[in-house]
Structure 1
Amino acid sequence: MTCTSSLKGGVLLVRLTGDLIGSPDTEQLIESVNQHLGESVTNCAVDLSEIRYINSSGIGVLVSLLTKFRSRGGEMVLINPADHPKKILALTKLNNIFAVASDEASALQQLTPAA
């Protein structure tokens, strides 16, 4: 799995590609998020459109990240989950827990407070 992150309008935007299956790949993701949390970022959008496969460890990482942001008064949105992640989220009923956006613009709109 590869992970890239950037800040866009005060929202942490994380793009993942490959398979989200746990260590050691997810360590990079968690380190990147923790670094930005230290910069007082409270909202995050995670692009899952390029994730081919996700297992229970990958789901655990997403839940952990969601908890980190919510405990700081923020939110996390998943962007356009590919077929397999979408099925796993539905199977585990986590599609009721995670906010999902169809694209980056929609996710940023959900996460950016109205002026």
Structure 2
Amino acid sequence: MNYKHTLTGDQLRLVFNGDLIGENNGPELVELVNNTLSKGAKYCLIDIADVRYINSSGIGVLITILTKFRNKGGELFLIKPSEHVKKLLIITKLQAIFNIVDTEEQALGKIN
């Protein structure tokens, strides 16, 4: 999986592309999150529109990121999951835990 990140004010934006397999990128992503939280990030917006597949370790990474932001009084938003990823979130009942939105604007509307 490839990803890009930007930190604007208190918002970390991540764009994932490919397969979210936690073993490959997990520790690197968690370190990035820790660094941005120490810089004052409060919200994490993850665009997962181009994620084709997520394994259990990938789900673990998303839950870890979610927990870190919520522990700091913030929130994580999953933006535009593919149909396959949406089904996975429903089957695992994780759609009840994550804030899932269709656009970045919807996420920003929930922040402000």
TM-score of the two chains, using structure 2 as the length reference: 0.92
Return the alpha-carbon distance in structure 1 between the equivalents of residues 83 and 26 of structure 2: 20
2:47: which partner in 1?
A: 47
Equivalences for residues 77-96 of structure 1 within 5 A: 77-96=77-96
Paired positions, count: 112
CA contact (8 A) 1:5 1:32 kept: no
Deviations 1:9-30, CA, capped at 9 Å, x for gaps: 5211111000001122222322
Moved segments of 4+, more than 6 Å = none
Unaligned runs of 5+ in 2: none
2:11 matched to 1:11?
A: yes
2:13 matched to 1:30?
A: no
CA contact (8 A) 1:3 1:29 kept: no
Bigger helix fraction: 2
Query: What secondary structure does 2:39 align onto?
Result: coil
Identity %: 45
Unaligned runs of 5+ in 1: none
Query: What secondary structure does 2:22 align onto?
Result: coil
TM-score of the two chains, using structure 1 as the length reference: 0.90
User: Which letter does structure 2 place at the counterpart of 1:87?
Assistant: K
Query: What secondary structure does 2:88 align onto?
Result: helix
Return the alpha-carbon distance in structure 2 between the equivalents of residues 80 and 36 of structure 1: 23
Deviations 1:29-78, CA, capped at 9 Å, x for gaps: 22221211110111111111010000111111111111000000011110
